Structure 1
Amino acid sequence: MTDDFKVSMLASGSAGNVTYIETPEHKVLVDAGLSGKKIESLMQSIGRSLADVDKMFITHEHTDHLKGVGVLARKYKMEVYANEGTWAAMDGKVGVIPEEQKRIFAPNSTQLFGDLDVESYQVSHDAADPQFYAFHHHNKTFAMLTDTGYVSERVSSMMRNADAILMEANHDVEMLRYGSYAWSLKQRILGDEGHLSNEDGAENLAQVIGGRTKQIYLGHLSQENNQIPLAHLTVEQILQAHDLNVGHDFALLDTHPDRATVLTQL
């Protein structure tokens, strides 16, 4: 059918992040934070091939979002989209990407690619110029948000009532505070340019879930300062406290650092 709009979180976590999105006309990745070989394997696990991917959208230059960008761009001749600040920060980290494959995607802008419209929005993270994306195909929207210390009203407005949402649930605050990280790193994670906790992610979800929202993915969980069951339970309880009918009106779904979510049609 011509309306197919599908997504899979190939990997999500503190060790690496890759998202796959497809429409009838386009197959794209958001970030490539694992090795090229691992991403190839993850694509095969959902019955897809990197040879069919035509574009990559980069959120920021941290290694867990960038590791495989250069090798995949060169091997598969993908167009790579990032804003000017991120391109400058990626210099020396991704090797040489041919100029004809390099594209600028300015913050807080929209670009149209046939049957896929993509919007960018700036987030608050300790990177050069971090931004995330919302993808629109016909009347459906998939909105993504991780790697931010807080959520602005503009970002909330971009995500509100999306059909599917990837929301950060990076850490449990108590696990982080009493864990082994250096205090300076703990301060960074907890700060306005750090990451959203389970509670932060849930409270922000409560503000953006609408009648169209059918799938919520919890993403970018810390492997040191969180656990999947804990994040899921915390978010579920907070959403229920906001009178949101988890499991009935929408599905609350987990992501994993080393295996893909089911390729799901929005």
Structure 2
Amino acid sequence: MRFSVLASGSNGNAVYIEYGETKILLDAGISGKQLQMRLQAACAREMSDLTAILVTHEHDDHVRGLTQVCKRSHASIYMTEGTYASLPDKAKLDDESRFHAIREEQSFTVGDIQVTPFAISHDAEQPVAFRFDTPDASLAVVTDLGYVSDRQKALLQNCDAYVFESNHDTDMLRVSRYPWHLKRRILGDKGHLSNVDAGYALIDILPESPVEVYLAHLSADNNLPDLAELTVEQIVIDARPRLAEVLKLKRTSRQEATALTEISRARV
């Protein structure tokens, strides 16, 4: 399995995943032009190559480019019925026959990839995160949630790579210029994970084998990449010192895609 985080942040999110001839775009939260440019630059792929488009929820930073991607591909489109019903007008699908409704914890296959959506707590209509499994590797993409439940931790065991939310530093957020209602939303159970939240959740999730964690959805105003990485690493390693030998923390960006990375189940 190979993947690239094409964009990650409050102004746009998208992840590309491929295995064999199966090519998936998870979310389309940047413009169609930017998606095409990043697919070409990082993955040497075109929108027309896509097998499927998956959508986590209806917020603009996840569906901004959905209409353009749909026009430039023949891919099937998967999301929950709640997300589909709540799509903004500019992201409505012209061809409803391409839409496939999915349900939480009901796995389905796209080509050679098994996809498992699961419910998350966020201020959207029926939002989900996803786990992707092939015979060779497993990847989870988990962002836009206020907390990580025990059920979610169980579903996230034994992946080889995680794209995992580390949205904000709580102290930076509390003293920021954000209005109080926005701070309360972000800090709430239907908001976003802080660096500390991410670290403590990962303690219970990460395997003992080599694993890559891509810290995602970092706030431009209330976080810093160095701070997010340091906080998560310190929390995880203090609790599970052996992970210092196998854990690799990676960064994502709002402006550019990560390299197309191959993951495999190289166990220790």
Shorter-chain TM-score bucket reads: over 0.9
How far is the alpha carbon of 1:58 from its aligned partner? Answer: 0.3
The answer to whether the 8 Å contact 1:246/1:252 transfers is no
Counterpart check, 1:20 vs 2:16:
yes
**Counterpart residue type for residue 249 of structure 1:** V
Q: Which residue of 2 aligns with 1:121?
A: 118
The residue aligned with 1:183 is 180
Displacement after TM superposition at 1:102 (Å): 1.0
1:196 alignment partner in structure 2: 193
Structure 1 position 49, deviation (Å):
2.0
Q: Is the 8 A contact 2:47 2:72 kept in 1?
A: no
Partner amino acid for 1:125?
Answer: H
Q: Is 1:162–1:213's contact at 8 Å kept on the other side of the alignment?
A: no
Counterpart amino acid of 1:152? S
SS at match of 1:221: coil
State the partner residue of 1:159: 156
Alignment gaps of 5+ in structure 2: 264-268
For the pair 1:264 / 2:226, whether they are aligned, the reply is: no
Code of the aligned partner of 2:86: A
Residue 240 of structure 1 is matched in structure 2 by: 237
Structure 2 residue 102 is the aligned partner of structure 1 residue 105: yes
Does residue 135 of the first structure (1) align with residue 126 of the second (2)? no
**AA paired with 1:227?**
L
Instruction: Provide the C-alpha distance between the structure 1 equivalents of 2:138 and 2:180, rounded to a whole number of angstroms.
Output: 39
Residues 1:78 and 2:75 aligned together:
yes
- Secondary structure of the residue that 1:93 maps to in structure 2? helix
The range that moved more, 89-98 or 129-138, is 89-98
Q: Distance in 2 between matches of 1:208 and 1:244?
A: 15
Q: CA deviation at 1:246?
A: 5.4
Q: CA deviation at 1:48?
A: 2.2
Letter aligned with residue 178 of structure 1? V
Percent of residue pairs bearing the same amino acid type: 39
The alignment covers a number of residue pairs equal to: 262
Note the alpha carbon deviations across 1:20-49, whole angstroms, 9 max, x for none: 000002000110000000011111111222
Counterpart amino acid of 2:24? V
Q: TM-score, normalised by structure 1?
A: 0.95
Given the alignment, which residue of 1, 4, 7 partners 2:3? Answer: 7
Aligned-residue CA RMSD in angstroms?
Answer: 1.3
Cα separation, 2, equivalents of 1:123 and 1:71:
27
| Match status 1:215 vs 2:231 | no
Deviation at 1:211, TM superposition (A): 2.5
Q: Distance in 2 between matches of 1:52 and 1:11?
A: 19
Q: Quick check: 1:147 aligned with 2:144?
A: yes
Where do 4+ consecutive residues of structure 1 move more than 2 Å?
243-248
- In structure 1, distance between residues paired with 2:218 and 2:242: 23
- Tell me, in whole angstroms, the C-alpha distance in 2 between the residues paired with 1:152 and 1:129: 16
- The structural deviation recorded for 1:239 is 1.4
Letter in 2 for 1:34: I
Question: Secondary structure of 2:70's match?
Answer: helix
Identify which of 2, 20, 26 aligns with 1:30: 26
- Aligned pair 1:173/2:167, yes or no? no
Which string of whole-angstrom CA distances, capped at 9 and with x for unpartnered residues, describes residues 55-102 of structure 1?
Answer: 111000000001001110122122110010000001523133302211
CA distance in 2, matches of 1:185, 1:123: 20
Mapped pair 1:40 → 2:36? yes
Does the 8 A contact of 2:165 with 2:198 survive in 1? Answer: yes
TM-score, normalised to structure 2, is 0.94
